[in-house]
């Protein structure tokens, strides 16, 4: 196991965040096989869902992935620098005014979400005297990003608006894919297929992680994010391998009598003699304050409920029922791992795995588990 050089050494960190690249690669292959013959891209926005966009990008490039999605042009900069030239990096949030030249110079591929964005990208291409690559997004029913049916009709009537633009992809996004039985999934797929006919021969992409598992065709490209990182793509049993585990180290314990207040606001008052252990991870590390009094951690596989409020840099847990052999300064404390999944933590905190991952803080020691069996360099014929 190697560590990234910029890392905080384990003896200085309150917890170690272990990132299993072998599981990441396996999750990519599972989705790719599930979505075939559609190709699989990788969504690596928000620093690769908190794990490191360059790290994730390079790992999945080695698995044959060539299409990557970030949210903002600023996120494309380190990714383009880290990946070989054959990688295509799409910018989901589109083209804000003033970003055109920089985007073109960078080689990022904007997802054009409106006629205005198409006009500015086309003008930029003409000014530079070259074709510029882009994706176009249509709104198939989420009402967030993309051309409305009215805008699409205008574009079809005036196709010269796409002058100078090399259209690599037409895409849309599902609102309810994590609820497979939702009627909206079928409605959006049908509407998307119809809208995409405006761009004959251009590859189509609709599905995110959850969509990639829906029992139907997947157009030409899928855009998984969360499932790559081990989050459950839909409710029920999670088919993905865990990519992230988080293990803290116990700082200190104290035994207090019944009737003792614990933590900020003394919101918890003990009802029995209690052994309180302090764990050096708090909300500044992305451990949600909403876990105050509801979540738990595990010592030697034994559950230790969180007592009182989660502080900025620490939290207190009840280890009264944990065998003493597991309780000592420096003892390992599982926050995310075999006894408590990422989705479990998210559920306890009243949020989703995406938010837990993207908030993972900068104070952890990061340990990288490499890909075990190197991929057979699958040079896929994937001209998008
Ligand atoms: C974030 C995002 C994805 C990935 O979604 P997951 O649910 O994480 O798989 C795909 N497409 C678009 C447009 C997105 O914004």
The gap between the terminal CA atoms of the chain, to the nearest Å, is 35
Distance 210 CA to ligand 1 centre (A): 9
| Contact of 24 with 55, CB cutoff 8 Å | no
> Catalytic residue among 45, 49, 283, 364, which?
45
Confirm or reject: Cβ of 309 under 6 Å from ligand 1: no
Mind listing the pLDDT tens digit for each residue in 79-137? Answer: 999 999 999 999 999 999 999 999 999 999 999 999 999 999 999 999 999 999 999 99
For a mutational test of ligand 1's pocket, the pick from 69, 207, 235, i.e. the residue with the most ligand atoms closer than 8 A to its C-beta, is 69
Confirm or reject: Cβ of 292 under 6 Å from ligand 1: no
Averaged pLDDT in 10-residue chunks for the chain of 384 residues = 63 97 98 97 98 98 98 98 98 97 97 98 98 98 95 98 98 93 94 97 97 95 98 94 98 98 97 98 98 97 98 98 98 98 98 97 96 66 48
The Cα–Cα gap between 319 and 333 comes to 11
Confidence at residue 351, expressed as pLDDT on a 0 to 100 scale: 97
Which H or E run contains 188? helix 183-196
Confidence at residue 7, expressed as pLDDT on a 0 to 100 scale: 80
Confidence at residue 1, expressed as pLDDT on a 0 to 100 scale: 42
| Contact of 37 with 212, CB cutoff 8 Å | no
Q: Whose CA is nearest to atom 10 of ligand 1?
A: 208
Confidence at residue 6, expressed as pLDDT on a 0 to 100 scale: 52
b/e code 99-119 from CB counts within 10 Å (16+ = b):
bbeebbebebbbbbbbbebbe
- This prediction has a pTM of 0.94
The Cα–Cα gap between 220 and 217 comes to 9
Confidence at residue 377, expressed as pLDDT on a 0 to 100 scale: 55
The Cα–Cα gap between 46 and 50 comes to 6
Confidence at residue 5, expressed as pLDDT on a 0 to 100 scale: 43
Which H or E run contains 277? strand 274-279
């Amino acid at each position: 196991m190697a560590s990234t050089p910029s890392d905080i050494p384990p003896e200085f960190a309150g917890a170690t965040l272990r990132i299993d690249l072998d599981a990441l690669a396996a999750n990519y292959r599972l989705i790719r096989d599930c979505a075939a013959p559609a190709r699989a891209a990788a969504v690596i926005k928000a620093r690769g869902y908190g794990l490191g966009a360059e790290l994730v990008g390079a790992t999945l490039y080695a698995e044959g992935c060539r299409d990557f999605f970030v949210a903002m042009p600023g996120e494309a900069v380190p990714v383009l620098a880290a990946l070989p030239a054959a990688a295509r990096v799409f910018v989901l949030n589109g083209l804000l005014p003033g970003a055109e030249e920089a985007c073109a110079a960078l080689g990022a591929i904007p997802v054009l979400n409106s006629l205005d964005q198409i006009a500015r990208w086309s003008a930029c291409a003409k000014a530079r005297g070259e074709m510029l690559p882009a994706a176009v997004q249509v709104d198939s029913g989420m009402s967030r990003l993309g051309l409305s049916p009215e805008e699409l009709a205008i574009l079809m009537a005036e196709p010269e608006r796409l002058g100078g633009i090399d259209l690599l992809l037409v895409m849309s996004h599902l609102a309810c894919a994590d609820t497979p039985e939702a009627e909206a999934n079928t409605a959006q797929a049908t509407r998307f297929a119809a809208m995409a006919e405006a761009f004959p021969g251009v590859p189509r992409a609709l599905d995110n992680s959850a969509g990639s598992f829906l029992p139907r065709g997947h157009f030409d490209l899928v855009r998984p994010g969360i499932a790559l990182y081990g989050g459950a793509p839909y409710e029920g049993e999670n088919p993905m391998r865990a990519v992230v585990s988080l293990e803290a180290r116990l700082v200190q314990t104290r035994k207090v009598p019944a009737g003792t207040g614990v933590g900020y606001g003394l919101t918890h008052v003990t009802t029995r003699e209690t052994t309180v252990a302090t764990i050096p991870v708090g909300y500044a590390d992305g451990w949600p304050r909403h876990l105050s009094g509801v979540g738990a951690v595990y010592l030697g596989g034994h559950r230790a409920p969180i007592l009182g409020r989660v502080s900025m840099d620490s939290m207190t847990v009840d280890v009264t029922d944990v065998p003493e052999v597991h309780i000592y300064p420096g003892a390992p404390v599982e926050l995310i791992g075999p006894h408590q999944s990422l989705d479990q933590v998210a559920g306890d905190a009243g949020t989703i795995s995406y938010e837990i991952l993207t908030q993972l803080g900068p104070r952890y020691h990061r340990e990288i588990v490499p890909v075990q069996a190197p991929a057979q360099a699958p040079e896929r014929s994937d001209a998008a």
